[in-house]
Amino acid sequence: MAQEKDLLLKASAGDRSAFATLYTTYFPPLYRFVHFTTRSQKDAEEVLQDIFLKVWERKEKLGEIRSFEDYIFIMARHRLFDMARQQASRQKAEQALAEQLPDADGNTAEGQVIYKEYHKAAMDAITRLPARKRAIFFMRTQQSMSLSEIAAVFRISPSAVKKHLYASIHFIKQQLHIK
């Protein structure tokens, strides 16, 4: 499509109007695909925001793309695979913790003591995080803020927020000796 190639060239030169046209053209079919996979409006919107943000950050390469539709759908597929891996990792960690704490549901005194010890250790690890990482961690886990919302608060990119969040989680896991 000649019009798409022209839009890609203009967008690669920084033309926001051309990028907006690409966005409005491809957002609906991409949203349907991602929402069908995630079954979550919030997750679908976050994935699409990540994708279009990455496209804009790498706009200089847009002129080299043959099919923008193929390009963004491949990006979406990769992001969905990443989400699935993260979810599997999270479930594995939760299962490992549940196996270590079989009575941590509060039904026994021993379970309550073990839970309190793990909670205290986790809170100690969190307090040792640098201030920005700690704030980002709490905004995401306690306030359920999206990456873009947190990014707006700190005036940084969502990918920077994600890096801070991953570093925080990695540090906490190290402190709790969770693999």
The DSSP annotation for 95-154 comes to HHHHHH-TTTTTTSHHHHHHHHHHHHHHHHHHHTS-HHHHHHHHHHHTS---HHHHHHHH
Listed residues 42, 70, 100: the one ending a domain: 100
Question: Are 95 and 109 found together in one domain?
Answer: no
Listed residues 51, 69, 100: the one ending a domain: 100
Please tell me the predicted confidence (pLDDT) of residue 143: 78
Q: Is the pLDDT of residue 176 over 70?
A: yes
* Measured distance CA(57)–CA(51) in Å, rounded: 10
Please tell me the predicted confidence (pLDDT) of residue 104: 45
* pLDDT tens, position by position, 63-107: 999 999 999 999 999 999 988 888 888 788 777 777 765 544 556
* pLDDT tens, position by position, 29-47: 999 999 999 899 998 998 9
Report helix angle 147-154 to 131-141, nearest 10: 140
| CA-to-CA dists, residue 144 to 47, 50, 117, 140, angstroms | 16, 17, 25, 5
Considering only the C-alpha atoms of the chain, give the largest distance between any 2 of them, rounded to a whole number of Å. 71
157 neighbors 53 (Cβ within 8 angstroms): yes
Average pLDDT, the chain: 86
Please tell me the predicted confidence (pLDDT) of residue 107: 61
Please tell me the predicted confidence (pLDDT) of residue 179: 55
Please tell me the predicted confidence (pLDDT) of residue 82: 86
Structure tokens at 63: 């002129």
Question: Are 8 and 72 found together in one domain?
Answer: yes
Amino acid identity, residue 63? G
Question: Are 60 and 107 found together in one domain?
Answer: no
* pLDDT tens, position by position, 118-166: 788 888 888 888 989 988 888 888 877 888 888 888 889 989 989 998 9
Question: Are 89 and 115 found together in one domain?
Answer: no
Question: Are 121 and 157 found together in one domain?
Answer: yes
Which of the listed ranges 4-8, 115-119, 134-138 does the model predict with the highest average pLDDT?
Answer: 4-8
* Measured distance CA(99)–CA(114) in Å, rounded: 12
Give the CATH number, domain containing residue 5. Answer: 1.10.1740.10
Please tell me the predicted confidence (pLDDT) of residue 77: 94
Domain residue limits at 137? 102-179
Q: How many domains does the chain have?
A: 2
